[in-house]
Amino acid sequence: MNYDLNRVKALVDEIFAQIVALRRQLHRYPELSEHEENTSRLVCDQLSALGIPYRDHIAGYGVTGTIYGRDRGKAVGIRADMDALPISEKADVPFRSQNPGVMHACGHDMHTAILLGTAAVLSKLQNELPYSVRLFFQPSEETIGGARQMIEAGCLEEPATGIVIGLHVDPSLEAGCVQFKAGAMNAASCEFYVTVKGISCHGAHPAAGLDPLLPACEMVMSMQSIITRRLPATDSALITVGQLHSGTKNNIIPAESSFSGIIRTMKNEQRQYLKEQVTEVCQNIARSAGTTCEIKFRDSYPALVNDEALYELMTVAAADVLGKDKVKISNTASLGCDDFAYFCYSSRGLYYDLGTAKPGQTDAAPLHSDMFCPDEEAIRTGILTEAAGVLKIMEEMQNGK
């Protein structure tokens, strides 16, 4: 298979303005995880306009589309997540969010628009594709892990999709650039919830009760020593406490205090060990204070590990279409989490970062910020790299690799 990158670039140029307008529409009307009804409908309308058959209402509001190549039984997949965040937008743009308290602050509007653009390009090349292309428009990345639910619903089947690629916007990189990380890229995580129970009493007579707040505070502090003293110093892991709640009035010692947070580690097998250590620390402190504690865990996403062969193919494809100077290589993993990791365990997966900072900009608002405002030129780069990547992968598949 010999694919013409100049033709791919010309096709991207043809649709670029349309995809930017589509992204702005998505940005203007963001929807939270598990509520992506209108976003899903827009995606379906766009696929229909392109003549791409689809299935909707998968794992909630998920959508899959299929561009059938000559081999209708085997496909390469591309994933985009669709959900927004509970953030009130402050970015001063004419297409700012019209849904109060909801914003595409993680760039999933960009992801969705880029995948629709890639679909438009690859559908024009449909008769030349040796294999099919599977499009995954995924809900609920920010909450319940829509990727896992879509996979469990059979989205990798018929056609059999043994390879999936995806991208995520990154405001620390300039627009026009992409960045790849070999091997482990993102962390496995586990949320925890701790309730310390004591005995309520008047604040003037603490001996009449049993204060749960003091051991709760000691637990929060002591958990940090798990990372620094119970793990090898070369391992990357974090324990973050994000919430602590206690009491109803200044002069009352409460009956219970609670806090919650998240464990992150680059090693899946280390997650269980850290849960055991958190349990031991909290129970021992509670016991020494005469209180009791209840601890609950909820495993989140596994570590995201990129396929080695896909890493090699995608870096070459990106350099071919963008130029080598626009392809960055990272040697540092992120302790952030992404449910694309489920695709990496159910198929061969490759995830990469898409720069969104304006050229020369050093103060771009970070992800999950109410001021997040990506350079829309990144949409062009995203479509180019997804399309070129799929074509490169298919070329290697034909060679039996």
Which helix H or strand E contains 168, and what residues bound it?
strand 160-174
Nearest to 166 by CA among 77, 88, 90, 56: 77
Whether 188-299 and 5-185+303-398 are alike in CATH topology: the answer is no
CB 173 within 8 A of CB 207: no
Q: What local confidence, expressed as pLDDT, does residue 3 receive?
A: 78
Q: Which two tokens stand for residue 37?
A: 């009804």
Nearest to 76 by CA among 168, 180, 182, 165: 165
CA distance linking residue 1 with residue 395, whole number of Å: 5
CA distance linking residue 101 with residue 97, whole number of Å: 9
pLDDT tens, the chain, 401 aa long: 677 999 999 999 999 999 999 999 999 999 999 999 999 999 999 999 999 999 999 999 999 999 999 999 999 999 999 999 999 999 999 999 999 999 999 999 999 999 999 999 999 999 999 999 999 999 999 999 999 999 999 999 999 999 999 999 999 999 999 999 999 999 999 999 999 999 999 999 999 999 999 999 999 999 999 999 999 999 999 999 999 999 999 999 999 999 999 999 999 999 999 999 999 999 999 999 999 999 999 999 999 999 999 999 999 999 999 999 999 999 999 999 999 999 999 999 999 999 999 999 989 999 999 999 999 999 999 999 999 999 999 999 998 76
Strands 188-197 and 292-299 come out as antiparallel
Cis peptide before 159 (omega within 30 of 0): yes
Q: Which one of the listed residues 301, 311, 342, 351 is annotated catalytic?
A: 301
CA distance linking residue 41 with residue 11, whole number of Å: 25
Neighbours of 3 (CB within 10 A): 18
Backbone φ and ψ for 342, nearest 5 degrees, come out as -65, -35
First to last CA, the chain: 14
Q: In terms of pTM, does the model score above 0.85?
A: yes
Q: Which two tokens stand for residue 13?
A: 């140029």
CA distance linking residue 235 with residue 229, whole number of Å: 11
Using DSSP's 3-state secondary structure scheme, residue 46 falls into helix
CB 308 within 8 A of CB 138: no
User: CATH says 188-299 is which class?
Assistant: alpha beta
Report DSSP state, residue 342: H
Rg (CA), the chain: 24
Q: What local confidence, expressed as pLDDT, does residue 399 receive?
A: 87
Domains of the chain: which residue ranges? 5-185+303-398, 188-299
Q: What local confidence, expressed as pLDDT, does residue 331 receive?
A: 95
CA distance linking residue 134 with residue 327, whole number of Å: 25
Q: Which one of the listed residues 36, 89, 256, 376 is annotated catalytic?
A: 376
Whether 376 is catalytic is: yes
CA distance linking residue 99 with residue 56, whole number of Å: 23
CA distance linking residue 173 with residue 10, whole number of Å: 25
Return the CATH fold of 5-185+303-398.
Aminopeptidase (3.40.630)
Q: What local confidence, expressed as pLDDT, does residue 400 receive?
A: 78
CB 97 within 8 A of CB 28: yes
Report DSSP state, residue 299: E
Instruction: Give how far Cα 119 sits from Cα of 115, 123, 197, Å.
Output: 6, 6, 55
Nearest to 237 by CA among 211, 269, 283, 202: 269
Angle between helices 377-398 and 308-322 (to 10 degrees): 130
Neighbours of 260 (CB within 10 A): 17
Nearest to 317 by CA among 47, 109, 76, 14: 76
Q: What local confidence, expressed as pLDDT, does residue 123 receive?
A: 98
- Residue 166, C-beta contacts closer than 8 angstroms, at least 6 positions apart: 78, 79, 80, 111, 340, 343, 349, 350, 351, 352
